[in-house]
Amino acid sequence: MGKKDGKKAAKKDSQLVLRLDKAERDAFVDLCKDMDTSAAREIRRFIRDFMKENGAE
């Protein structure tokens, strides 16, 4: 199955390691689950939006 817009998914081959307060991380992951999404998906979306808004794309 392909993406909605017809683009082929690029292989993700890099990681970004973050240090967070455990309670904050757990609350974020739980909220993402409640919203039927994943923490990784939302962080990737944040990065893309941030780059677009700040002219780095």
In whole angstroms, give the CA distance from residue 44 to residue 47: 5
The helix, strand and coil proportions of the chain, stated in percent and rounded to the nearest 5, come to 50, 0, 50
- What are the extents of the domains in the chain? 22-53
What is the pLDDT, as a whole number, of residue 53? 95
Which pLDDT belongs to residue 57? 67
Per-residue model confidence as pLDDT tens digits over 1-57: 455 565 667 788 999 999 999 999 999 999 999 999 999 999 999 999 999 999 986
Residue 41: what residue type?
R
Question: In Å, how far are 12, 25, 28, 29, 35 from 40, measured between CA atoms?
Answer: 12, 12, 11, 9, 13
